[in-house]
Structure 1
Amino acid sequence: MSKNQSFSLLLLVLSITFIIYSYGFKADFIFDDYPNLQDLGNYGDINTWDKAKNFISNGFSGPTGRPISLASFLLNDNTWPSIASSFKYTNTLIHLLNGLFLYWAIILILQSYKYKVEKIFWIAFIASSIWILHPYFVSTTLYVVQRMAQLATLFSLIGIVGYFKARQLLMNKPLQAYFYMAISIGICTVLATYSKENGALLPLLILVLEFCNPNKENKPIWQWRALCLWLPSILVLYIIFRELNFSENLWPNRNFNQVERLYSESRIVVEYLYHLIIPQIEGRGLYQDGYLISKSLMQPITTLYSILFLIVLLFLAFILKNRFPLFSVAILFFFAAHMMESTVLGLELYFEHRNYLSALFLFLPIASGLYLLREKIEPKLVIFIIFIILSLLAFFSFERVKLWGDSEKLQLYWAKNTPNSARAQNVLASYLLRSGKAYESIIFLESQVKHKPESALLNMQLLLHKIYTNSAVEKDFLETSERLKQQAFDAQAVQALRNITEYIAEDDGLKFKYALNLINLIDRMQNTHHNDISVFWRVAPYLKAQLYLSLKDYDNAFENYDIAIKRYNDIESNLMMVAELASAGRESDAQNLLEKSEILYLAQNEKTLRRSKSEYNMEISRIKKLLLTELAQLNKAK
């Protein structure tokens, strides 16, 4: 296969892929899209540099805040609520761009490995086409917020391309080669990491590609490799594995400890490999909180089998490195790229998008095998086999995209196929409620609470649905709090508590019926392990303040607002609380709270602020003037 033929066929694959994905553009946002994108509407339209900077610099999805990914969302919209189609369109273009860079990266790697020219373009086309068309990556591409994973992959691929392109200069222009290789690794690692943290693995991934290279000629000198590849790789691995801690209750907000996570991830990684090699139309979906946790090597027994399988696979990758380098690249790159998300860090167990970067070179052995098969049998038959493989992948992707094109249908599909997931069952209950079947939703949730007594989310949702139907009684609040004592912290349960508070506080009929019961529930939660988690510890007095304010119990409202501003210690949140008091006609209390908030604000480190100090100073001054004007008018009226 010539270079031109290979590239022309790749363009055809990219065009078909775009057409397939276009059927999913009409779907809505889902799951983590909302918390990550809703800040687009925090300050009105983002139409100034300061507003853009605030949005970009206030990410919370990881230690870096992922500012590059957040900045990319401004290409699609600058306000919220928004429409998902343009975001999904951009994600699809990024996926196609990744496919192009993968094709280029494979060509450069195989040239470095001294493969024949015809074999290089054959393997590059087949391997990259399988990756581009694979249905497993529909969930990464059409799940808007996973642009973070896409961009980390894009910058990693650019880094790999830049490295191997510069590496070709080693023979004739070594100084330029070393400079450009270092620049490619350094800049692209930073860009990838600030898109998503696993981009920090780029030096390790390039080290894997070098390690598997059977061609020992023209190799970078060991001093340069030690400085630019080994040192950053060791540093990143140290940062990851310093988190080793086999204590029993390491993560109070998780239902597994570190040992159980490692055991479980062995099964999960094997499952990832299975779905990548044996494609399916739809996978497990996003509701994986009910995934069966491995409690020991033998419980379930597939844990032991999975660990043994992975050890054998890793062993083969090392011993067959010289004979079958592309097999070693596929396996070692896959393992290396999973080092951050599938080992000791306290992340959720299972997400398909973790394979978007990991599987980049997984299909190299298949492409190479098809080339060898071409030498054994009729070449036209091999071309027909390739056509069938790519056609099947295109069909599976099309069917999956159609499912992803209807967000409600998709989430109901996941819910029905993941009965052990509390999040999934909550989706079914919410669907019943939206469909006008409120009492059916309560009956369903009652059965689910019995089936999953450990779920704080379902527990809180049951109370919420009873309040929605005005059928809750004091006993329901007491039973909810008793169950919460035995249940692990769940951030979504806290969100449900916020929803209940807002719903009650805004309804004149409900607040006098339920507000005190909810305040007592929050007080009882503050005497449990939930209060050890900062999210609940901060929000508890704030929710109580809202409820007291709705009841016009102003003394208790102010007392709880006073506690809340100290716990939040965030001028953005504190100004919002000041505004709530002022909106309720409590200008004097609002002024008092503003003064206390300003003292806290002045003591804050400027680096921790969401906006510039000058902007906050102007906002505080404006609110002060408004409050003074209101107070003066009140005094005049008296």
Structure 2
Amino acid sequence: MLKKTFPFIVLLSTLLICYFSYSIGLKADFLFDDYPNLQELGTYGDINSWDKALNFISNGFSGPTGRPISLASFLINDNTWPSVAYSFKLTNLYIHLINGLLLFWATLLLLKNYNYSEKKAIWIAILSFSIWLLHPYFVSTTLYVVQRMAQLATLFSLIGIIGYLQGRLLLAEKPIVGYILMTVSIGLATILATYSKENGALLPLLILVIEFCNSNKINKPLWQWRAICLWLPSLAIAVLMFRYINLSAEPWPNRNFNMVERLYSEARIVTEYLFNLYIPEIEGRGLFQDGYPISRGLFQPLTTFFSIIFLVVLFISAFLARKKYPLFSLAILFFFAAHLMESTIIGLELYFEHRNYLAALFLFLPLSAGLIWLSEKIDYKLVTFISILILSMLTLMTWQRSLLWSNTDNLQIYWAKNTPTSPRAQNAIAAILIDQGRYQEANAHIEQAIQRLPNSALLSIRLLLQKVYTHQATEQDFHQAITRLSIQPFDAQAVQGLRTLVEYVVLPENINQYGALSLKLIAAMQKNANYKDFPLFLRLTPYLQAQIYAASRQPVEAYLHYKLAMKRYNDVEAGLMMVAEMASKDYYSDSTQLLDQANAIYQKQEVKTLKRSKAEYDFEIPRLRQAIEKMKNQKIKDKYEN
């Protein structure tokens, strides 16, 4: 009895150990991309109706699909913002445990399809899933709330793989049931995975890799089915990827690398991923990867060349060893295939650990199979000891990394000190110093960082923002910022910094001192060569200028800039916000004209792009018009009575 239940006991113990190893990190706060992705939970009040829920789910911006399934999952934890990160992180941990169970199931079915005996398959699957589940590399995916997107894409991909493998086993006795199960599993899981995160679209290719590495020809699906359900969608992804190829000098205005440089850099990065997965460490590079050294050529740096050679040899060896060592081939080819979308020609940021969450699912299969094989050749007690030692070390490292992740400020300081070439890292340190009231230290830190990183617009904006925030900014500080920002390349973080700066400047106590200088700053940035290639900045600048003019009591200029901003945003929600801002300054005639423009935009706007339901806008626009008229009449009445 104990022999039969022992694998189950080990499986359950691994899940419990994983839970307790992660639990210490659940008390940390939100990080970076959590805020822009989750703050929409409270933008228009609590999400307390189906219409509001649908608007939140369908208005994602993290990828081409909007990732609605991932956004829907966040409503499990809260329906408003600000929120508390604990429940979000706990749900992520549960998903990680579920993914572990699904991986065990998928690996067990895979080994059966690869003609392994049941006893051997069970222990290989247990060891492989345990290494993946307890690996410290995935702490950053599990405890970083927004990476639930990567987790869910993996979850649905595993469900698709399980359905395919189970259906394949049924082909001998129940072929119709088998084909139906495989087809439905792949089709449905691919859709769900893709709408969780776009790399879920790679599922048919990943299953094709599993089939390709299977030397067991028994129950092999018909070539017609493979062509339609595996080859055709994989080819469609290849064609879609091919359309991204752009060998121009600057294919991505908001990146400091071109496509060739990205491919060179990714060779080093993927090699580093593999190294860290097999030689783990407690904490790696973290999330401050904007300063990652770019490969400018085949030998710049020299590690680029050696990384390419290593990956090519690994890829070729996976093909050559396919029949004799199918699990080795599967581990390598599956890893490469899963990185096809995020680590090749699409202009994403270079380095993120979470890209390995799906890619590494079967990476530890060869090691696990090797240990089980070794237990049959030598004393199994020694191999058991080695296996327990490996898992114990991984558990300890995961617990230590979770402990580090439990304190968000300390974590960011740790990352920042280890990435001195990252402007975002230096920005994070300054933010922590400001929160602690250490203003002079914050200014000195950014000034030193600017000397090291003279091309960072983020740091230039940050320094000026800090001085305005502490009422230390002089005209010379603005002129220095103008000189830098008129030529520095800038990104979304720099633009957000400008927006935050204007929020301070338009306050009554700041507008007279900093309003005109801020207008000069924005005008200088508009002359920057990057300006025309940055749609966010193109929309935002007239809006910021309008806010400054309105706060400075210059209604004509405010109206003209609000009008231009409304045209560029071309969104009724943004337009109504501008109308309200104009009315709040008592410019009623101008706000009424802006409301007419917002209503015209609403009439032409597609329903699917609306932030709220049509019924709400049909009520809100006349209500706002009546409110403006009422305020206007009240002001006239007050003036007459006085």
Q: TM-score, normalised to structure 2's length?
A: 0.98
Q: Deviations over 1:45-79 (max 9, x none)?
A: 11100110111111000000000000000000000
Q: Distance in 1 between matches of 2:601 and 2:488?
A: 34
Where 1:625 maps in the other structure, the secondary structure is helix
2:510 is aligned with 1:510? yes
> What is the Cα deviation at residue 289 of structure 1?
0.4
> What is the Cα deviation at residue 397 of structure 1?
0.2
Where 1:362 maps in the other structure, the secondary structure is coil
Q: What are the within-5 Å matches in structure 2 for residues 225-264 of structure 1?
A: 225-264=226-265
Tell whether the 8 Å contact from 1:3 to 1:121 is kept in structure 2 after alignment: no
Q: Which amino acid aligns with 2:525?
A: M
Q: Deviations over 1:253-304 (max 9, x none)?
A: 0010000000000000000000000011001000000000000010000000
Q: Which amino acid aligns with 1:581?
A: M
Q: What are the within-5 Å matches in structure 2 for residues 566-605 of structure 1?
A: 566-605=567-606
Corresponding residue of 1:341: 342
Relative to structure 1, the CA distance from residue 109 to residue 601 in structure 2 (aligned partners, 3 Å threshold; closer, same or farther) is same
Q: Distance in 2 between matches of 1:530 and 1:340?
A: 27
Corresponding residue of 2:522: 522
Q: Distance in 1 between matches of 2:306 and 2:485?
A: 37
Corresponding residue of 2:74: 73
2:384 is aligned with 1:383? yes
Q: Which amino acid aligns with 1:53?
A: L
> What is the Cα deviation at residue 605 of structure 1?
2.3
Q: TM-score, normalised to structure 1's length?
A: 0.98
Q: Distance in 2 between matches of 1:167 and 1:373?
A: 30
Percent of aligned pairs with the same residue? 58
Q: Which amino acid aligns with 2:212?
A: F
Corresponding residue of 1:166: 167
Q: Deviations over 1:479-530 (max 9, x none)?
A: 2122123321211111110111001112x23210111000111111112223
Q: Distance in 2 between matches of 1:632 and 1:476?
A: 44
Q: Distance in 2 between matches of 1:569 and 1:178?
A: 48
Unaligned runs of 5+ in 1: none
Q: Which amino acid aligns with 1:333?
A: F
> What is the Cα deviation at residue 402 of structure 1?
0.2
2:460 is aligned with 1:453? no
Q: Which amino acid aligns with 1:517?
A: L
Tell whether the 8 Å contact from 1:146 to 1:353 is kept in structure 2 after alignment: yes
> What is the Cα deviation at residue 170 of structure 1?
0.8
Corresponding residue of 1:563: 564
Q: Which amino acid aligns with 2:304?
A: T
> What is the Cα deviation at residue 633 of structure 1?
2.8
Q: Distance in 2 between matches of 1:301 and 1:544?
A: 48
Corresponding residue of 1:321: 322
Q: Distance in 1 between matches of 2:5 and 2:165?
A: 21
Tell whether the 8 Å contact from 1:66 to 1:196 is kept in structure 2 after alignment: yes
Corresponding residue of 1:9: 10
Q: Distance in 2 between matches of 1:439 and 1:371?
A: 60
Q: Which amino acid aligns with 2:116?
A: Y
Corresponding residue of 1:606: 607
> What is the Cα deviation at residue 384 of structure 1?
0.6
2:562 is aligned with 1:552? no
> What is the Cα deviation at residue 469 of structure 1?
2.3
Q: Which amino acid aligns with 2:232?
A: L
> What is the Cα deviation at residue 442 of structure 1?
1.3
> What is the Cα deviation at residue 435 of structure 1?
1.9
Q: Which amino acid aligns with 1:589?
A: D
Corresponding residue of 1:133: 134
Q: Which amino acid aligns with 1:397?
A: T
Q: Which amino acid aligns with 1:509?
A: E
Q: Which amino acid aligns with 1:588?
A: S
Where 1:529 maps in the other structure, the secondary structure is coil
Q: Distance in 2 between matches of 1:3 and 1:425?
A: 55
Where 2:591 maps in the other structure, the secondary structure is helix
Corresponding residue of 1:193: 194
Corresponding residue of 1:283: 284
Q: Distance in 1 between matches of 2:113 and 2:634?
A: 79
Tell whether the 8 Å contact from 1:152 to 1:192 is kept in structure 2 after alignment: yes
Q: Deviations over 1:548-587 (max 9, x none)?
A: 1111111111111011100100111111111111222222
Where 1:47 maps in the other structure, the secondary structure is coil
Q: Which amino acid aligns with 1:520?
A: K
Q: Deviations over 1:394-428 (max 9, x none)?
A: 00000000000010110010011111101001111
Q: Which amino acid aligns with 2:379?
A: E
Is the deviation greater in 464-473 or in 375-384? 464-473
> What is the Cα deviation at residue 390 of structure 1?
0.5
Is the deviation greater in 626-635 or in 616-625? 626-635
Q: What are the within-5 Å matches in structure 2 for residues 41-190 of structure 1?
A: 41-190=42-191
Corresponding residue of 2:616: 615
Relative to structure 1, the CA distance from residue 117 to residue 2 in structure 2 (aligned partners, 3 Å threshold; closer, same or farther) is farther
Unaligned runs of 5+ in 2: none
Corresponding residue of 1:492: 493
> What is the Cα deviation at residue 433 of structure 1?
1.8
Q: Deviations over 1:335-355 (max 9, x none)?
A: 000000000000000000000
Q: Deviations over 1:89-135 (max 9, x none)?
A: 00000000000000000010111111111110010000000000000
Q: Distance in 2 between matches of 1:20 and 1:375?
A: 31
Q: Which amino acid aligns with 1:90?
A: T
Q: Distance in 2 between matches of 1:328 and 1:482?
A: 55
Is the deviation greater in 444-453 or in 533-542? 444-453
4+ residue runs over 6 A deviation: none
> What is the Cα deviation at residue 629 of structure 1?
2.1
Tell whether the 8 Å contact from 1:209 to 1:329 is kept in structure 2 after alignment: yes
> What is the Cα deviation at residue 168 of structure 1?
1.6
Tell whether the 8 Å contact from 1:204 to 1:336 is kept in structure 2 after alignment: yes
Is the deviation greater in 446-455 or in 82-91? 446-455
Corresponding residue of 2:413: 412
Q: Distance in 2 between matches of 1:227 and 1:8?
A: 41
> What is the Cα deviation at residue 440 of structure 1?
1.8
Tell whether the 8 Å contact from 1:102 to 1:360 is kept in structure 2 after alignment: yes
Corresponding residue of 1:501: 502
2:431 is aligned with 1:430? yes
Q: Deviations over 1:430-475 (max 9, x none)?
A: 2222222212211221121111011110011011112122222222
Q: Distance in 2 between matches of 1:90 and 1:630?
A: 47
CA root-mean-square deviation: 1.2
> What is the Cα deviation at residue 2 of structure 1?
6.1
Q: Deviations over 1:350-397 (max 9, x none)?
A: 000000000000000000110111122111111011110000000000
> What is the Cα deviation at residue 3 of structure 1?
6.0
Corresponding residue of 1:482: 483
Relative to structure 1, the CA distance from residue 2 to residue 171 in structure 2 (aligned partners, 3 Å threshold; closer, same or farther) is farther
Where 2:615 maps in the other structure, the secondary structure is helix
Q: Distance in 1 between matches of 2:46 and 2:291?
A: 39
Q: Distance in 1 between matches of 2:472 and 2:404?
A: 36
Where 1:168 maps in the other structure, the secondary structure is helix
Is the deviation greater in 607-616 or in 450-459? 607-616
Task: Tell me how many residue pairs correspond in the alignment.
Answer: 637
Tell whether the 8 Å contact from 2:104 to 2:129 is kept in structure 1 after alignment: yes
> What is the Cα deviation at residue 628 of structure 1?
2.3
Where 2:530 maps in the other structure, the secondary structure is helix
Relative to structure 1, the CA distance from residue 274 to residue 369 in structure 2 (aligned partners, 3 Å threshold; closer, same or farther) is same
Q: Distance in 2 between matches of 1:633 and 1:486?
A: 49
> What is the Cα deviation at residue 247 of structure 1?
0.5
> What is the Cα deviation at residue 630 of structure 1?
2.1
Q: Distance in 1 between matches of 2:427 and 2:505?
A: 20
Q: Distance in 2 between matches of 1:440 and 1:633?
A: 50
Q: Which amino acid aligns with 2:191?
A: V
Q: Distance in 2 between matches of 1:536 and 1:3?
A: 64
Q: Distance in 1 between matches of 2:573 and 2:20?
A: 44
